[in-house]
Amino acid sequence: MKLEEGPQQGKVGVRSRTSTFIRSLVRPGEMFRETEIYGSMVRRPPTSLPGRATTPNVNFFFHVYPVRIPRKVLSLRSTGRLGFISAVLFVILLVSGTYLMFFYRPQTPDAYFDMHTIHTSVVFGQFTRNLHRWSAQLMIVVVVAHMIRVYVSGAYKAPRQFNWVLGMGLLLLTLGLSFTGYLLPWDQLALWAVTVGTNIAGFAPVVGEKFRQALLGGTDVTNVALLRFYVLHVYVLPAMALMMLGVHLWRVRKDGFAVGDREEFAPAEASDE
């Protein structure tokens, strides 16, 4: 038996070389978290209870978490985790979309053939494309459900009005991302769906036709439109969504969850006696 050097020394006590070896095999993550390398990347607060409460202040990865929250907020019923699921889907879309960008050229007729190449010759190409499409459609459903949850629970009321407005922006960006992505496969469905969609936009009073032509870069859906939709889809709209999402989450952190307000101001439950 030998004393083990390390941050846990004195607390955990004596460990044999064999148990350290087994631990490194069974729980490699735990071993890594005890190393100096991990400690230098992720600032570890003291292990005492008050020390652990400072985690959100010292750890970048946990800084969006509040130090204390009412227990009720943690229940699935309070938010349905719908905002969280929307954020996870957004990350999946960013990662899968970046992979697809390596194999796609936004010009005619290559765009159409690149989609076929992605399906037939690219490693995990078909899987990544399907993941991207399904996640995009699911995200619209989940974001709308999140908005309905916020409305029904009255979480849009003061002091969260600004976050509701930001949420509206996020909803429009989510729809915009879906619409611009629809043209990229450059097949018949894409062409005519975007023709119909932009024609509808053209009927908006005063600015409608000007907006349609600015979006398409002409009067019809051509090569120019494909490039514009591509730039909007891979750069402009995701960048705007990322910035807006950052502020949205920051506001959730500052305002606290709406369900927590009710708990804080609710009258104390009558006791049985």
Sign of CA dihedral 68, 73, 79, 85: positive
245 near ligand HEM (CB under 6 A): yes
Alpha helices in the chain (DSSP H): 17-26, 28-33, 36-41, 49-52, 55-58, 76-79, 82-101, 110-120, 125-152, 161-183, 188-202, 208-216, 223-231, 237-255, 258-265
Is the Cβ of residue 89 or residue 226 nearer to ligand HEM in the bound state? 89
Binding ligand HEM (rule: CB under 6 A), the pick from 132, 146, 212, 228 is 146
Q: Which amino acid is at 271?
A: S
Q: Which amino acid is at 267?
A: P
- Among the listed ranges 39-47, 185-193, 231-239, 250-258, the one in contact with ligand HEM (CB under 6 A) is 250-258
The residues in 27-86 that bind ligand HEM, with binding defined as CB under 6 A, are: 79, 81-84, 86
Binding ligand HEM (rule: CB under 6 A), the pick from 96, 128, 135, 163 is 163
Burial code (b: 16+ CB inside 10 Å, e: under 16) for 220-231 equals: ebeeebbebbbe
Binding ligand HEM (rule: CB under 6 A), the pick from 100, 155, 216, 234 is 155
Is the Cβ of residue 172 or residue 193 nearer to ligand HEM in the bound state? 172
Taking the C-alpha atoms of residue 214 and residue 198, their distance in angstroms, rounded to an integer, is 11
The residues in 125-144 that bind ligand HEM, with binding defined as CB under 6 A, are: 143
Residues 6+ apart with CB under 8 A from 8: 34
Query: Nearest distance from residue 145's CB to ligand HEM, in Å?
Result: 10
Torsion-angle region of 6 (φ positive above 0: left; ψ -120 to 50: alpha; else: beta): left
Binding ligand HEM (rule: CB under 6 A), the pick from 103, 164, 211, 250 is 164
Taking the C-alpha atoms of residue 163 and residue 245, their distance in angstroms, rounded to an integer, is 10
Is the Cβ of residue 157 or residue 210 nearer to ligand HEM in the bound state? 157
184 near ligand HEM (CB under 6 A): no
112 near ligand HEM (CB under 6 A): no
Which chain residues interact with ligand HEM by CB under 6 A?
79, 81-84, 86-87, 90, 143, 146-147, 150, 155-156, 160, 163-164, 167-168, 170-171, 174, 245, 248-249, 252, 257-259
